[in-house]
Amino acid sequence: MSSQVRGGTRWKRFALVMVPSVVATAAVGVGLAQGALAASFSVSGQSFKVRTDSLVGKDFVQYGSVAVGTDMKGEKAAHAVAVSGFSSATITNMCQSVVTPNLPFDLGSVTLRLEAGTNAKKPVEATNLYLDVAQLDADASFKNIDIGVAAGSLKNPNRPGSIGIQPGTQANANGFAQRAEEAVLTDVKQTAWATTAGTFKLSDLKLRLHSGTDEQCF
């Protein structure tokens, strides 16, 4: 495993992304905790926060794209994002939160907070993971990284088991992209719009609702 520096850029505090978006119901959360469901989540019209001690991902790819969804008024909304993909990933001590403001009946703002993988021996596990990120702070290292490739070249992975551009993603084929055999991120704080995964297993899942905004992950 090695940390790469090219063109004078140090890939620390690197804008990656990780972990799933907040699950809206406990039933879905339990299914994911048991590894029973594929995952495709977004928080309509809202970004969400994620904090984790570490993420180790295999067959990393990253490229620019646009996340298109529906805002809280039912209107279409678009956001520029950095899409990160991994063929598989393990995540330790994960926390994610989303705030729903201005609820009726004088409830005010409510924070939905999810925690999983708090035991280092039972991390969160994901396969075919894609993440749409708006902002991220982390320490990162990469193994065999290839920086500055065209996004179009990611469509046909050159290694068995690798992943390319997510089907249906809006991406400029000639735009900037990068890939690596492995990415290791630690001390992660991220804001994202959406996540999809082939499978997601959330060990030791805890999901809570909190009044106000003090219980966000960061």
Residue 144: inside a domain: yes
Query: pLDDT tens digits, residue range 16-38?
Result: 433 333 333 333 444 445 544 45
The 10s digit of each residue's pLDDT in 169-186 is 777 778 888 999 999 999
28 within some domain: yes
* Opening angle at CA 89, ends 85 and 93, nearest 5: 120
Q: Is residue 12 part of a domain?
A: yes
Q: Is residue 217 part of a domain?
A: no
pTM value is 0.78
The whole-number pLDDT of residue 161 equals 61
What percent of the chain lies above the pLDDT cut of 90?
48
**Number of structural domains in the chain:** 1
Q: Which residue has the higher pLDDT, 54 or 19?
A: 54
Give phi and psi for 30, each to the nearest 5. -65, -40
**Band of the pLDDT at 195, cuts 50, 70, 90?**
confident
Parent domain of 181: 5-166+175-211
Identify whether 18 is part of a domain.
yes
Task: Confirm whether 218 is domain-assigned.
Answer: no
Residue 73 lies in a domain: yes
Q: Please give the torsion angle defined by the CA atoms of residues 141, 137, 117 and 195, in that order, rounded to the nearest 10 degrees.
A: -100
* pLDDT tens digits along 159-172: 556 788 887 777 77
Contact 19, 94 (CB under 8 A): yes
Distance, in Å, from the CA atom of 138 to the CA atom of 52, rounded to the nearest integer, reads: 10
pLDDT > 50? residue 119: yes
